[in-house]
Structure 1
């Protein structure tokens, strides 16, 4: 199996990405602190250039390709955010990119991926082995396959988010005691776990998933990788991985306190709260960690708690549904 990344790899990624991605700010809101009883530090990745944290990992992986590999470009599969990130990274470095995307991927994500110059190949998310398809596309085009989460360079790039948050917290005299991130295949939380093991070793780390797609939660509880049945709700399209990654899961099993799952009403509530109070547009999958916190499924009482809003590439009609849902707490 491919060797897992280390904290040193996350540090190197942070240096490599400097000036190539947005260093997103650390946000706070008194209402969020009041509702949870903690000091909540929000990392808003919708402000990233492609609207999600995925640009970190994709760019780090692309930068590590040699000259010959760069000529062949990148092939990947993605429900949208990693596809956009891969397309953007390839454009930045003058490489071709091909992205296999589910036929039902949000139009906003498809259009953005194409806008960066990538070729998009559609597939049926229920009937196609996406990893096999990406490998086939890579072989046909002489490209390098860079998967969305189960890749050491991608994991290391995602972990730069936690380095930034820990640094910004320290600048205000704060130390992270808890941390939660939206979780699909586990690349984001794994990279962050590597960083926080070094920078905030006492922090309790949580993976948050949508109900019906909580394979990481189930796998952490069982101590082995468990796949969901793929029939859960599709609202959180960016988090519909069927099982944790072979590389990400051992990292997370050794470092996470556990996982929690949220339902669609809780997700819509969080999206509306983020819009009304944090002034952030969050997509459903990007809002699940905030949803868990607001629903009381994460205990931040008396603690400094880091929270990732991981993406903001939301279909306008879905966002309208969130705004029409039950009002956010005031």
Structure 2
């Protein structure tokens, strides 16, 4: 039986946003007439967190989480595991705060993400997972390093403070929607372990409760959607493949699951072909470079599985950390 997990209050989310915004930039809220025409929606807004520092929303939660360390913990440093975007966000936050960061990354994480993480001053340790789930092997190595080097062990998504920090994306979007005299009927947001959608869903739950939240996951990695449907955390089987390297967690974290259970969510899945088309559409129509994981939410909108006719839609495009060669490879046949 899962122990009760702290779910951040609205005041907690606002406090985290006030702090994290000292180290982040406001990402724009783009309105697309093209997407509205293509989908039948009344209005479509896209929030490109791909334009955030370190190329994704992750720096929001990472900075807030590092600010919660004791002076002694901050001096010794932290260790975490990540396939890429949390690695870069945490490394950038650590660099800004002068906190040493060690990141354990799967050996098959994109080279561009590994290089960027090291570029922010983090120590990168690679793990070879073989036939095992890559996040499990990386997590084991991170725990080992934490014990050996007396470092604070941080989780990339299963932490109420990470959830609170990532909520800044939602709070910021709500402020921007209000300026445009709009409110979202539907929101599409991708899910890996659930840290982002946990925070964003809470922000909308508190401030825009009529917004329907759609969590987007790759086929074969829909752990959050399955868990929400069944009322308990479930682990997806090994063997799935996806170009969305940042969304390949086999099960959601307890903290994001608790947040989503309170805020409410409907699950939707996308396949690689849809993601490739979304990446191409974002580039050609929105002038945005999105990595596969960052384009999954847009793919869900364009797939047409969810009826958005006459509705106002918000799409959170979560990241843009993709090399030129990989971007061209993914979109060549889209």
Which aligned runs of 4 or more in structure 1 are off by greater than 6 angstroms?
A: none
Structure 1 contact 74–86 (Cα < 8 Å) conserved: no
Q: CA deviation at 1:234?
A: 3.3
* SS of residue matched to 2:28: coil
Per the alignment, residue 216 of structure 1 pairs with 224
Q: Give, in whole Å, the separation in 2 of the partners of 1:232 and 1:18.
A: 37
What's the CA shift string for 1:56-102, capped at 9, x where partnerless? 11011011212111101111000000011111111111111100000
Deviates more, 1:123-132 or 1:8-17: 123-132
Q: How does the TM-score come out when normalised to structure 2?
A: 0.94
Q: Give, in whole Å, the separation in 2 of the partners of 1:15 and 1:199.
A: 17
Structure 1 contact 155–190 (Cα < 8 Å) conserved: yes
Q: CA deviation at 1:146?
A: 1.3
Structure 2 contact 226–234 (Cα < 8 Å) conserved: yes
User: Given the alignment of the two structures, is residue 98 of structure 1 paired with residue 102 of structure 2, yes or no?
Assistant: yes
* SS of residue matched to 1:207: strand
Q: Give, in whole Å, the separation in 2 of the partners of 1:51 and 1:152.
A: 22
Q: CA deviation at 1:163?
A: 0.5
Per the alignment, residue 23 of structure 2 pairs with 20
What are the ranges of 5 or more consecutive residues in structure 1 without an aligned counterpart? none
Alignment of 1:137-152 (within 5 A): 137-152=145-160
Per the alignment, residue 160 of structure 1 pairs with 168
* SS of residue matched to 2:31: coil
Per the alignment, residue 261 of structure 2 pairs with 253
Query: 197, 200, 204: which one pairs with 1:189?
Result: 197
What are the ranges of 5 or more consecutive residues in structure 2 without an aligned counterpart? none
User: Given the alignment of the two structures, is residue 112 of structure 1 paired with residue 112 of structure 2, yes or no?
Assistant: no
Structure 1 contact 177–200 (Cα < 8 Å) conserved: no
Q: Number of residues paired by the alignment?
A: 326
Structure 1 contact 207–256 (Cα < 8 Å) conserved: no
Per the alignment, residue 311 of structure 1 pairs with 319
Q: How does the TM-score come out when normalised to structure 1?
A: 0.95
Per the alignment, residue 65 of structure 2 pairs with 61
Q: Give, in whole Å, the separation in 1 of the partners of 2:308 and 2:66.
A: 37
Q: Give, in whole Å, the separation in 1 of the partners of 2:294 and 2:126.
A: 23
Structure 2 contact 83–246 (Cα < 8 Å) conserved: yes
Q: CA deviation at 1:175?
A: 1.1
Q: Give, in whole Å, the separation in 1 of the partners of 2:316 and 2:200.
A: 10
Deviates more, 1:131-140 or 1:79-88: 131-140
* SS of residue matched to 2:169: helix
User: Given the alignment of the two structures, is residue 77 of structure 1 paired with residue 81 of structure 2, yes or no?
Assistant: yes
Query: 278, 281, 301: which one pairs with 2:309?
Result: 301
Q: Give, in whole Å, the separation in 1 of the partners of 2:327 and 2:249.
A: 22
* SS of residue matched to 1:306: strand
Q: CA deviation at 1:153?
A: 1.2
Query: 270, 281, 285: which one pairs with 1:273?
Result: 281
Q: CA deviation at 1:215?
A: 1.1
Structure 1 contact 206–256 (Cα < 8 Å) conserved: no
Structure 2 contact 242–272 (Cα < 8 Å) conserved: no
Per the alignment, residue 292 of structure 1 pairs with 300
Q: Give, in whole Å, the separation in 1 of the partners of 2:265 and 2:309.
A: 16
What's the CA shift string for 1:143-192, capped at 9, x where partnerless? 21111101111111111101111110001111121111110111111101
Deviates more, 1:213-222 or 1:75-84: 213-222
Per the alignment, residue 11 of structure 2 pairs with 8
Q: Give, in whole Å, the separation in 1 of the partners of 2:251 and 2:155.
A: 14
CA RMSD, Structure 1 to Structure 2 (Å):
1.3
Deviates more, 1:307-316 or 1:49-58: 307-316
